[in-house]
Structure 1
Amino acid sequence: MPDETTPVDPTLDEELALANEPTEINPDVDIAPEEVGPTVAEGERILEVDNVTLRFGGVVALNEVSFHINQGEILGLIGPNGAGKTTCFNVMTGVYQPTSGDVRFLGEPLGQRKRFQITKLGIARTFQNIRLFANMTALENVLVGADAHHSTGVGSAMFRLPKHRREEAEGRARAMELLEFMGLTAKADELARNLPYGDQRRLEIARALATSPKLLCLDEPAAGFNPAEKAKLMELIRAVRDQGYTVLLIEHDMRLVMGVTDRIVVLEFGRKIAEGTPAEVRENPAVIAAYLGVEEEDAS
């Protein structure tokens, strides 16, 4: 028998029990995105990355990368460490301006737009390292996202004008719906820093959804998860898509990506090396070579 100081690896049953303990999502709760701005028909292109290159001095972080995302799909963006996945995310969401090439969302070029403007257009993202407001409650964190489309200003808030009170009530109702969808209703008044790690991940997704995005970008959402938690994350991502959202997923866990995406784009050293369905990508010699470090002619 191990003594009290000996670490014991949990069994799968223990992992499942642990994963089921914090929260269960409620996919029947209606969190469909609000109709803000132009609409896109199912299957039509919602975002296009066209020949994008990004240089940092002499380093080419992205090299003529092109791909598109269709309305209503889950697209995976994968690649080995340092492939340029998060850099591509950052170009799409206004953190970096491309050296050349274009990113278009709903037909509108995103170049030179500020991050808050891109959020208002309908792109929301989470981060590989959780970026919640640690000393705010779960509800307050989601309300920050809901505020993205409010039109009242400081004066209206100071004097508690009717329009401000209406938007505030609508935002709170929306935030509570998202918390219920995530299974976090009972933790609405808890500080974000006191939530279990998995709940913090779900809370960050809820905050992103509160902006009513047409495209939800998830950057390594399974980081730090055990296998059972990853399975529940797959369920969550599918449930979000089923509510009418389009999802772009960056993830290094191949089993998760293969199990949840409709199509996959693969980057290596800043360039696109493959694109297709999970089955097509799984058998692609260039992808096998990138992940296993073998010569392409020997990988088939």
Structure 2
Amino acid sequence: MGWRIPSLNSARCFVVAGEHLSFTKAAAELHLTQSAVSRQVQSLEEQLGFPLFERFTRRLALTPQGQILLSHWRIAFLEIEKGVREASTHTDRSIMTVAMPPTFSVRWGTTCIIEFQKLHPATEIRLRVDSEGTALDGGTVDVAIEFTYARRRRRGSRLLFTERLVPVCSPAYAAGLSGITPEQMLRSATLLHVQQWEDRYGDWKKWLAAAGYPNVPFERGLVFETADLVLRAVKQGAGIGIGDHAYIRDDLAAGILTTPFPITVGYDRGYFIRARDDEHDMEVRSSFVDFMIRKTVQFNDE
């Protein structure tokens, strides 16, 4: 029982270096010099009496003892971070951090958050844009809305709505393509795409096949990072994009956009919501999840 507990600084340097297997990358994350991180780890090794890393010319490798310590200490630092966050937010005014994809937040999510906050004025809501769907796993987000395939949905998530895609363009752009057949229109139009994971043409490919135009070339046109940017380009008359009906329904009703081919294709992708499952502020998180499900049920009934 003569062990002396290592300092948090040296333990933290080891954990970050172990995660990156690099003193240089650990130094960048910790805002220290590479030599400072190396000294902290060396001091820790001397205190423990065994090496934590095998040092090669251009890389590091964890020793068996290092692997054991990293697995335990990584969890310990996550718990420390969690405790600090809970202590700092333990006030009469609760704080809820919500993460959602960029297009969801711009086209629809922000409006919902404003409405929910009016119903729960004692809750401060912080919005974070997250395109990867992993924010909840880091322990700094309370509720996450994720865009993914149904078969890849995370455990404990609940469906908000599934994606329903339809071609959309400005009325002026559609008028410029009048007088020709639908297939000629598709062949001559500029197609607008959104980068979806590794696939940038998948939406058009699936829609064309379902609509009966499988031979129309689709690997052409303009590619944008988000669906919101596609819809902005559509409004400026840049071409025909694929839009999720949930995002364009108001613009269609107002005559801002039109559907030159009113064939909607369902997808096995959708938006799913899940919340942290610890007890701290569970009531407000559950209320928000239920609120979002009620707000989106209309999209599943259309």
TM-score bucket (shorter structure):
under 0.3
TM-score (norm 2): 0.22
* Structure with higher helix content: 2
Flag the structure with more relative contact order, 1 or 2, with Cα contacts below 8 A and sequence separation at least 6. 1
TM-score (norm 1): 0.22
The structure number with the bigger radius of gyration is 2
